[in-house]
Structure 1
Amino acid sequence: MKSKAQNEGDSGTVYAASSGPSALRLLNRRSECRSGRRPTGRGHARPPALKSPRCHGGLEEQVTQVWLRKTLLGALQEFRKFSSAGAFFTLPKDVFPQDMVCWIVVPIALSAVSFVGSWTVYGLALSYGHVCSLSNWIYRSSCELNSTEECCTIDNVPTISTSGKNSPENSLFTATVNAGSFLFLVFCVIHHAHILEKSSSQAILSKAALGFGCVAAIGAFMAGNCNPGYLRLLHYLGASVSFVCLCFYCLLLTALTKKVLLTSWVYILYPVRSVFTAIQIIITILYCIFFAQESYFFQHFSAVFEWTISLNLELFELSFIFEFYTFSSSMLAVLLEKKDEEKSLILS
């Protein structure tokens, strides 16, 4: 039977053989220290090895460190070979869904920012007495200054624009519209890339939708940064352009929902979005008609319709969480590839 020292020596030999020549030299030094003498050379005896400071330098730890270093380097080389072979990029998409799931934040953030921001602005304006409640239908031509009762005039109609006209809520109104415009632009670009990736035959329809979406975002940005109290014409011009383009955008996206299969929920999403689109178009037309009237009753109706348009659009955008769940960052490269193809066609 082998002694304990012999077993340790055998295991050390295995480690050293797998670690390289440097570990073998350390193993020879360890055996010299254990035997008490060094090998003689040229017929001359050497002093005991125990007197050498090298025997007290932690040879066991050095052998272990060399072996660990060699093992880690070998594992790193294997990992590089595995990565260069493209193994991570040939796996199915369902194996690593984190990249796809993260894009679901876009429609959720867009709807949440628009909903929370706009209604917070309305709450601030209502608390400061800048607008009247949506449930109030009684308006007067003028109000007494010292009156304690709630008095509403044509200047206090609770439209979205009127809610963000005065200080301090106008700052939050501008920030909300700017954030919503940016997120909506990102929403339009990502959806366009998704359509091109799945069905290039619908590229023209998708580009038309992208154009209407970009113009709607620019119009909303103009309306949010032009205070209706000072730049009334620019504010309502941007708002009207945004409302009209949003109707066309919803119509085109609903058509693309049926034509391009981006998710297995299309048979439920298509009728739901058709209802949202119909509501968006009908309410927008009624809003434009009632907003042009001078009657207090019709003006208040236009305010209710405007808030209905906003809420309906937020629900429409939120329904795209199913498509954005299956979206991947690699699909954005389709936009660059299409540009390169168009450039080559132009040059040829």
Structure 2
Amino acid sequence: MWWFLIGTSCLPITLVIWSCAAFVISFSIAVLIRHVHPLVPFISDTGTFPPESCIFGLMINFSAFLGLVVMYIRYKLLQTLNERKATICPKLNIAALVCGALGCLGMCIVANFQETSLRIVHDIGALLAFIMGTIYLVLQSCISIRMMPYHHTRLVCGFRTILSAVSVIATIPMITCYFLATYSSSTLDWKPGAKGSSFQVTSAVCEWLVAFSFNFFFLTYIKEFQTFTVNVRTVLLPDPNEEPCNTL
């Protein structure tokens, strides 16, 4: 059997490939049509104008859905493992799922509310996606450390901890530099050397760094998702209008 078909490992693999493709395709189209400057634009800048905005919105919405599915399955896995051997607080698992779900909601907001249309809503969605996503990484790293060596190896825990630390460190200058530069100049029409361009480049670099930290983090789920499968069970509810069958 092919390694990416073992268990449910196809889910995090599909999530990472699809998300990276969304970034690369929209970036390539935006640069080729000259809608953005090729020197490290903001991720959302590459999906502001059509036709790339249509592709960006469609693919990011599906990425958010895939991300939510992967996070929920990870939640159910941890819940099942914790029932066998209690190693983490159930509230920590729930908190991670809630933060992840809010991050996915932020992604949908970013994809559907372009910065040139409703900038405030777009910025709220971006903050929600990056901040909640970063908190999700931190919580999952803590969970992995607490379950070591019962379910996670030191290598996996170390890699997840590094990625969550990179995300935390990069998120702070990303937000700070964004508010220092973006509201004093245009996000899309800036040129290298212009006023505020250094803040924009710094913020954009950090944004891409955080985004790919998320993707690399989900890559660490592949080996773990190979160890289980998910089954759907259909349960029919009793029909209140159906007369009970009397048996002798």
- Relative to 1, partners in 2 of residues 1:177 and 1:265: Cα closer, same or farther, differing over 3 Å? same
Q: 2:34 matched to 1:190?
A: no
1:337-348 maps to which residues of 2 (within 5 A)? Answer: none
Once the two structures are superposed, residues 171-207 of structure 1 have per-residue CA deviations (whole angstroms, 9 ceiling, x without a partner) of 0110111011000100111000000111144321111
The RMSD of aligned alpha carbons is 2.4
Equivalent-residue separation in structure 2 for 1:253 and 1:327 (angstroms): 19
| SS of structure 2 residue aligned to 1:248 | helix
| SS of structure 2 residue aligned to 1:275 | helix
Partner of 2:51: 168
How far apart are 1:327 and its partner, in Å?
Answer: 2.0
1:234 to 121, 143, 149: 121
Question: How many pairs are equivalent?
Answer: 216
Partner of 1:305: 206
- Relative to 1, partners in 2 of residues 1:130 and 1:263: Cα closer, same or farther, differing over 3 Å? farther
CA contact (8 A) 1:125 1:131 kept: yes
| SS of structure 1 residue aligned to 2:6 | helix
The percentage of aligned residue pairs carrying the same residue is 26
Asked which structure has the greater CA Rg, the reply is 1
Equivalent-residue separation in structure 2 for 1:319 and 1:263 (angstroms): 16
How far apart are 1:260 and its partner, in Å?
Answer: 2.5
The letter of the residue matching 2:230 is S
The letter of the residue matching 2:56 is F
Once the two structures are superposed, residues 223-262 of structure 1 have per-residue CA deviations (whole angstroms, 9 ceiling, x without a partner) of 1111111111111101101111011100110111122259
How far apart are 1:116 and its partner, in Å?
Answer: 1.1
How far apart are 1:114 and its partner, in Å?
Answer: 0.7
Equivalent-residue separation in structure 2 for 1:167 and 1:97 (angstroms): 38
Equivalent-residue separation in structure 1 for 2:93 and 2:223 (angstroms): 18
Equivalent-residue separation in structure 2 for 1:188 and 1:179 (angstroms): 14
Q: 2:163 matched to 1:258?
A: no
The letter of the residue matching 2:208 is W
Where does the alignment leave 5 or more consecutive residues of structure 2 unmatched?
182-195, 236-248
- Relative to 1, partners in 2 of residues 1:262 and 1:239: Cα closer, same or farther, differing over 3 Å? farther
How far apart are 1:264 and its partner, in Å?
Answer: 5.8
How far apart are 1:328 and its partner, in Å?
Answer: 2.0
CA contact (8 A) 2:173 2:202 kept: no
Greater relative contact order structure (CA < 8 Å, 6+ sep): 2
Q: 2:183 matched to 1:282?
A: no
Q: 2:150 matched to 1:245?
A: no
| SS of structure 2 residue aligned to 1:230 | coil
The letter of the residue matching 2:120 is L
- Relative to 1, partners in 2 of residues 1:328 and 1:102: Cα closer, same or farther, differing over 3 Å? closer
